[in-house]
Structure 1
């Protein structure tokens, strides 16, 4: 094959080289795989910025998420293997344990299993579940953290039962009227995972709701604020905002209550966040932003623990709105827009005549006619007429085509008439 049948694009944009090696004018002609292409090559007509916008390409350095939590110091691989081998040897040397396993009488302590789960992969799973519920996006923006300190939170529902806060479970407002019990290891070093030896440690506990603010969509409602908690003793902490139970309005759906535990560098003066007793029931005074709080105090505290649950409306909130908040109870309803209906045509081609006419009639009248038609064939004592044994074997004559279709549907038990 002669190379004279092809034009070869040069490495520059100034022109093309013909078979004699001399420059030819740029005609934007390219032969590729036997096909002649005219115009600019694919992709050349758009700028790089336009292509990035169309392809939704983002800069990874700008959109990368930042870990604002504590790192974790893990032992070396050899130390981990050595500990596992020692554990296996101890289990194999236990004769009584083997007898119980063979006789199916071995009982496993689930509390120990739960404790081991929290110390190993439980907090990583909690971070993934928080991402699933949008906790980090709505509280910290592009930042996240892995909870290093396990939080045990539960509500006392009565003298004999309680409702624990467990990875986004549902707790009704009637169960969360009083402040929950909070327990965590306040002497734990979040980095090493071992007890700290440098004296007292102080913590801050926040309970916030990113879905409860009525006037500002991006704001949160602060439900609880305790600072300077010494060594994990929540009762000895400085209460800056008294506990306020969740109050999701009727028809709003589920709301998220998030508990965030911060490790302080030392004792802090957070009196500027103090909420007075007279403003405790003022929802506007409880306007809060977790991201702004962290930006202001990020040099003095680090997030270390996380827990959250979901809640929705129940009947107890009616009295809470009237007696405690002294507000009229809000009720939300979905407003479904009317379906679009095009203007009526004189000749609706390829559409069933009766169905097309029903679209432009009053739906109540159409429903009434279908119901009357069904009741006409229903005996008050014997019930509806028995269906035909062979419905398609009976001929249908002297009726329009659209009515034939309706009769077939009625015989087969299909169509709109079955909705009534």
Structure 2
């Protein structure tokens, strides 16, 4: 097995451990077929605060927008644009979905210039920030929340994204609804994911 195949398997296993794909995309037939195309590296400014596929991070160290870097396992399509999101499917808790999903961050029209290396994602530089970053704010006593970053490939035929009118339920007003519905509306394809856990004890 190649190094890249092992890395892809590691991401898949970590996502399956917390049922990330199943919860975010319950009606899409990708839960058992999704294969990540690269690694999404996420680093916060506080030292030793790196998102690592399900590690637990303090909420106080994750309030500022992190830095992002996408590293493809093979090559990245430099002719396409990409979208980066952060969503919380556990609002206000993992068993109560009335505010879920909560939209924490959306950046669209990301372009990579190096097919082999991927690149750093710099919000506001040659891309569009649809929703500015809001750090984790889990209610006290609601257990661990999954804060999930997703990188998705855009459809070149979609020139205008559907509006996200509100953070709660991604504006749809339906508990447990979010990125899947918005991705379907805009024909986005999931490329990779990373996530961390946080709580307010």
- List per-residue Cα deviations over 1:148-189 (Å, max 9, x = no partner): 1211101111xxx2411001001111001101111114xx5x
Once the two structures are TM-superposed, the CA of residue 122 in structure 1 deviates from its matched residue by 1.3
**Counterparts in 2 of 1:97-112, with a 5 A limit?**
none
Aligned partner of 1:208 among 87, 108, 123? 87
CA distance in 1 between counterparts of 2:75 and 2:200 reads: 42
Which residue does the alignment assign to 1:134? 19
Higher relative contact order (CA 8 A, sep 6+): 2
What's the TM-score, normalizing by structure 1? 0.39
- 1:177 is aligned, of 56, 63, 66, to 63
CA contact (8 A) 2:104 2:133 kept: yes
Which has more strand, going by share of residues? 2
TM superposition shift of 1:137: 1.6
> What whole-Å deviation, never above 9, does each CA across 1:107-164 have from its counterpart, x for those lacking one?
xxxxxxxxx84x231121211221110111210115321211211101111xxx2411
Does residue 148 in structure 1 map to residue 37 in structure 2?
Answer: yes
Q: 2:109 is paired with a residue of what secondary structure? A: strand
SS in structure 2 at match of 1:184 = strand
CA-based RMSD of the aligned residues comes to 2.7
2:110 alignment partner, one of 226, 229, 234: 229
How far, CA to CA, are the matches of 1:245 and 1:269 in structure 2? 29
Which residue matches 1:248?
Answer: 138
Write the distance in 1 (CA, Å) between the matches of 2:136 and 2:169. 16
Q: CA 1:148–1:223 in structure 2 vs 1: closer, same or farther (change >3 Å)?
A: same
Shift of 1:297: 2.7
Query: Which structure has greater helix proportion?
Result: 1
Distance in 2 between residues matched to 1:254 and 1:212, nearest whole Å: 10
The alignment of Structure 1 onto Structure 2 pairs a total of residues equal to 181
Q: TM-score under structure 2 normalisation?
A: 0.78
Matches of 2:181 and 2:169, distance apart in 1: 16
